[in-house]
Chains A and B, each alone.
Chain A
Amino acid sequence: MIEFKNVRKAFGKRVVLDDLSIVIPPGKITFIIGKSGEGKSVTIKNLMGLMHPDRGEIVVDGEDITRLDEEQLRLYRRKFGMLFQNAALFDSMTVGENVIFPLREHTRQPLPAMLERVEQVLALVGLPGIQHKYPTELSTGEKKRVGLARALVTKPKFLLYDEPTTGMDPLVSEMIDGLIVQINRDVPGVSSIVISHDLKAALATAENIVMLYQGKVALAGSPQDFRKTKDLVVRQFFSGSVEGPMEFL
Chain B
Amino acid sequence: MPVRTAEIAVNWLGVETTARLVEIGKFFVYVGDVLKQSVRKPMRTSLVFQQLEFIGNQSLNIILLTGFFTGAVFGLQIGGIFQIFKAEGLMGAATAKALTRELAPLMTGFLISGRVGSAMTAELATMRVNEQIDAMEAMGVDPINYLVVPRFIASLAIIPLLCVVFIFIGVIGAYATGVWIFRVDVGIFIEKMTQIVNMTDIWNGLEKSAVFAVLMSLIACRYGLRASGGAKGVGIATTNSVVVSLLAILCFDVFLTYAQVKF
Contacts and interface: CB of A to CB of B under 8 A. Distances in A.
Contact of B138 (A48, A91, A92): A48
A91 B127 CA distance: 9
Interface string B72-105: 0000000000000000000000000000000000
A88 B139 contact: no
B231 interface: no
Interface stretch (B59-67, B128-136, B180-188, B211-219): B128-136
Contacts of B131: 84-86, 88
B16 interface: no
Contacts of A105: 139-141
B135 A82 contact: yes
B139 A77 contact: yes
Contacts, number: 48
| Range of interface residues on A (Cβ < 8 Å) | 20 to 34
A50 B141 CA distance: 12
A95 to B, nearest CB: 14
A105 B137 CA distance: 12
A249 interface: no
Interface string A62-100: 000000000000110110101011101111100000000
Nearest to B127: A90
A168 to B, nearest CB: 17
Contacts of B141: 74, 101-102, 105
A106 interface: yes
A78 B134 contact: no
Contacts of A84: 131, 134-135, 138
> For the complex, would chain A's binding face be called helix, strand, loop or mixed by DSSP majority?
mixed
Contacts of B23: none
B217 to A, nearest CB: 19
| Range of interface residues on B (Cβ < 8 Å) | 10 to 19
A30 B142 CA distance: 29
A237 B131 CA distance: 28
Contacts of A48: 138
A91 B142 CA distance: 18
A84 B142 CA distance: 18
B142 A74 contact: yes
Interface string B138-158: 111110000000000000000
A88 B137 CA distance: 12
Interface in A156-210: none
Contacts of A101: 139, 141
Contacts of A90: 127, 132, 135
Nearest to B146: A105
Given A88-B131, A91-B132, 10 more contacts: A50-B137, A50-B138, A74-B142, A77-B138, A77-B140, A82-B139, A88-B130, A91-B130, A105-B141, A106-B139
Shortest 9 CB-CB contacts between residues of A and residues of B: A88-B135, A88-B131, A77-B140, A82-B138, A74-B140, A102-B139, A78-B140, A84-B131, A88-B132
Interface of B: 123, 127, 130-132, 134-135, 137-142
7 contacts: A77-B140, A85-B131, A88-B131, A89-B132, A90-B135, A106-B139, A106-B140
